A = this chain, B = another copy of it.
């Protein structure tokens, strides 16, 4: 097992009716900025619940944070927060709103242009206190310190994370997911599933507990995924889905393990070029990536086939193929098409994508074996 350091300071407040506990978690007298996205929280009742819970506080609102939150928008929030002497931030939304708020709270305490710490994350040291009310289970941002921010002016999309960008607390009420459309639920299931796979499906590293935890989240998502997406809302299923997405990226399964993340990196390019949903890009790329890298992922693929899919018979090659096929079928059964032609995308963009990685000099994956040539092979497998 590799050495590791783990610390996650977020207080998780989970369950039915928990939004009303909000006020007790924020020190009296704080001047709060409430951040949110496109306004779905005004339709599903979350906005009203949060406002009611915060009735004793002075609250400034900042809505309109985009699905891929931009520097340009967030800097408006920073200016507004400084003008109103805000000293506590509450993100109400999904991963984009929470990621955006992590940028805002760090920018508040940064001397200089905050884009500097996106380009060089070691420049950021401190962040103002913030918390979240999660409305969309998917990214895990509610219980980690990571944030991905885009800059329109330069078409850049960069990530940062500092010790102080863990939410002080996050409130997860599974009932707020009842109004989510199927597409967002399906994307959320895939996002959580692939987050686990990126940390699990690499090579054996003697991390027995983390393997078991990862397999446990995958098995749970397989057990409940289709029902969450297709059936009428069921509280316990939604609770397990919501908790799965949080546990998939809060550090519990990453202690001491090698990590891949190539599916995410290649997927980001499909979003950038074609506007595909993030979850959709993962469902397209991952099966092809597993096929293209099965030689060096072989041992973990066999373990995955055995423990997650109960595939016990056949040659090693057959068991690996069966596991990848079942993974792809799982995504399709959630209603997500897993081939590029189903989105009317052909191979014309592949040169552009491959060139981007080649120019950056990046070799992806847990062994840095995913060269531009392998990326092309993976993309061809997605047609």
Contacts and interface: CB of A to CB of B under 8 A. Distances in A.
Nearest to A2: B15
A223 B255 CA distance: 20
A220 B224 contact: no
Interface string A234-256: 01100110011001000010011
A261 interface: no
A239 B169 CA distance: 31
A123 interface: no
Contact of A18 (B3, B174, B212): B3
Contact of A12 (B7, B13, B236, B243): B7
A217 B206 contact: no
B209 A247 contact: yes
A10 interface: yes
A22 to B, nearest CB: 13
B1 A11 contact: no
Interface string A1-30: 111111111111111111000000000000
Given A216-B213, A219-B212, A239 B12 contact: no
A142 interface: no
Interface string A183-218: 000000000000000000000001111011101110
A15 B243 contact: no
Contacts of A208: 220, 223-224, 240
A28 B256 CA distance: 29
Interface in A252-269: 252, 255-256
A14 B3 contact: yes
Contacts of A1: 15, 174, 235-236, 239-240, 243
A212 B215 contact: yes
A259 B276 CA distance: 45
A123 to B, nearest CB: 21
B9 A9 contact: yes
Contacts of A247: 209
A15 B6 CA distance: 11
Contacts of A216: 209, 211-213, 215-216
A206 B240 contact: yes
Contact of A11 (B5, B10, B169, B240): B5
Contacts of A209: 216-217, 220, 240, 243-244, 247
A11 B15 contact: no
Contacts of A236: 1, 206
Interface of A: 1-18, 169, 174, 206-209, 211-213, 215-217, 219-220, 223-224, 235-236, 239-240, 243-244, 247, 252, 255-256
23 contacts: A1-B15, A1-B235, A3-B14, A3-B17, A4-B12, A4-B15, A5-B11, A5-B12, A5-B14, A7-B10, A7-B11, A7-B12, A14-B255, A206-B240, A208-B220, A208-B223, A209-B216, A209-B220, A209-B243, A212-B213, A212-B216, A215-B216, A243-B255
Given A1-B174, A3-B14, 15 more contacts: A3-B18, A4-B15, A5-B11, A5-B12, A7-B12, A7-B169, A8-B8, A12-B255, A209-B217, A209-B220, A209-B240, A211-B216, A212-B216, A212-B217, A213-B213
